[in-house]
Amino acid sequence: MIRIQGLTILFNPFQIINLDINIETGSFHFLLGPTGSGKTLILESIMGLHKPKKGRICIGEREIQNLPPEQREISYVPQDLALFPHLTVKENILFGMRTRNLNFNLYEGYIQNLIEAAKVSHLLGRYSDNLSGGEKKRVALLRALAPKPKLLLLDEPLSGLDPSIKSEIQGLLKTLHGSIHPTTLCVTHDFEEAYFLGDTITIVIDGKVEQVGKRDDVFLRPRSRKVAQFLGARNLYRAKVLKKDEDYQRWIIGMNNLQFSVPFSQCKHSLGLGKEVDLFIRPEEVMILREGKPVKESLKRNTFKGEILAIVDRGIFQDATFQTLEGKILFEISIPNYAFRNLGLSVGKVVRAALREESLWIMV
């Protein structure tokens, strides 16, 4: 277990106040936040490159915040990778082991497995100036993993790569984490990367932790409007609690003369009647109903008639702007291409939209 408690960093213009992060041994934890929020500074402070104002950093039961970087048993892959141009690929990979006076013979099989997994055997005699961007990423990652660190820090590991190379490195990270389980803290601005690789996520906004949780909890059930907006959530509305339906275990939420029926499970808080809340409707969980097809019982509570105002081709899916006839509420609806082809949608068409229970989330 890695425990970061009350970490406060004052480094103009950044202010990180009382940061708490707990990382389970062997897990892949992501640190997300807006650009300029001090994420890299947090990694560098954990590594020992900056001295925090206060706070504790513990690896297991061992406090390390007052130790020099080389004694912390942490490996760090910065954004610029910092490969040594005067060393070969093999010498770069083994550099951390040599500085820690580790016995190569005890690690030989492990290192060879890393080299094979990363597919860099043919590069071992080259120098970093003769490597592509993707090859440099692989070498920097192996150099960090070679000494078997207690904590691996990654700063934007997939930045600056072409899409195909990015996918390869992403797959390598997934493979290595699945096989050797390094405890990892990764900073990124790429939500897709965090969702694909992450076990748990901490969101830091304006120097404060806004939400910590498992991947799906954070992305699908944001704690607040601030978090939802940071994650790029669409379909955010201000609404009011009209009724608590104990029989069906649901909240009845009102907005612009429309009523939404939301299961108790789709809100983490107890709500009072008349309370104003934020309602988040996930665009990928909204269905356009086919004409003449019966509506499932589970969808009838949240079915609305409206008009398609716009359609945008996003490549692998279509984004439709839907406006309810009553209340004039705008929804964005993400429709997979296979479903879109069967619906015969066009701008101006009047259709029925149904909200799955999973599409609704209430925040206070």
d(CA 314, CA 294): 29
Residue 271 Cα distances to 218, 250, 321, 364, angstroms: 21, 11, 30, 9
Residue 2: pLDDT band (50, 70, 90) is: very high
> Of 102-116, 139-153, 235-249, 286-300, where does mean pLDDT reach its minimum?
286-300
Q: Give tens-digit pLDDT for 156-165.
A: 998 888 888 9
> CA–CA distance from 43 to each of 9, 114, 121, 185 (Å)?
11, 24, 30, 8
Q: Average pLDDT, whole number, for the chain? A: 92
Q: Residue 13, class by beta-carbon neighbours within 10 Å (0-12 exposed, 13-18 middle, 19+ buried)?
A: exposed
Confidence band (pLDDT; 50, 70, 90) for 358? confident
Compute the distance between CA of residue 76 and CA of residue 95 in angstroms, rounded to an integer.
Answer: 13
Distances (CA, A) of 163 to 148, 155, 156, 233: 29, 18, 15, 24
**How high is the pLDDT of residue 177?**
92
Specify whether the backbone of 312 is left (phi greater than 0), alpha (psi in -120 to 50) or beta: beta
Of 247, 359, 227, 221, nearest in space to 299 by CA: 359
The string of pLDDT tens digits covering residues 22-64 is 999 999 999 999 888 888 899 999 999 988 999 999 998 899 9
Q: Is the pLDDT of residue 12 over 90?
A: no
Dihedral angle of Cα 326, 331, 336, 340, to the nearest 10 degrees: 40
Identify the CATH number of the domain defined by range 2-226. 3.40.50.300
23 in helix, strand or coil?
A: strand
For residue 354, what are its two tokens? 């149904």
Q: With pLDDT > 70 as the criterion, what percentage of the chain qualifies?
A: 100
Instruction: Specify the pLDDT at position 244.
Output: 93
Residue 66's CB: how many other CB atoms inside 10 A? 10
Residue 275 has pLDDT above 90, yes or no: yes
Predicted confidence at residue 267, as pLDDT, reads 92
pLDDT digit string, tens, across residues 88-116: 999 999 998 888 888 888 888 999 999 99
- The pLDDT of residue 322 is above 90: yes
- The pTM of the full predicted model, rounded to 2 decimals, is 0.89
Q: Could you identify the residue written with the tokens 């513990």?
A: 58
CA distance 259 to 261: 7
What's the average model confidence in pLDDT over 232-243? 94
Output the DSSP codes for 273-286: TT-EEEEEE-GGGE
Please give the pLDDT value at position 122: 95
- For the 233-363 domain, the top CATH level (class) is mainly beta
What pLDDT, in 10s, does the model give residues 141-177? 999 999 999 999 999 998 888 888 999 999 999 999 9
Using DSSP's 3-state secondary structure scheme, residue 359 falls into: helix
**Residue 332 burial by Cβ neighbours in a 10 Å radius (0-12, 13-18, 19+):** middle
Q: Give the SS3 label for residue 27.
A: coil
Would you give the distance in Å from CA 223 to the centre of its chain? 14
What are the sequence ranges of the domains in the chain?
Answer: 2-226, 233-363
> Dihedral sign, CA of 197, 52, 160, 92?
negative
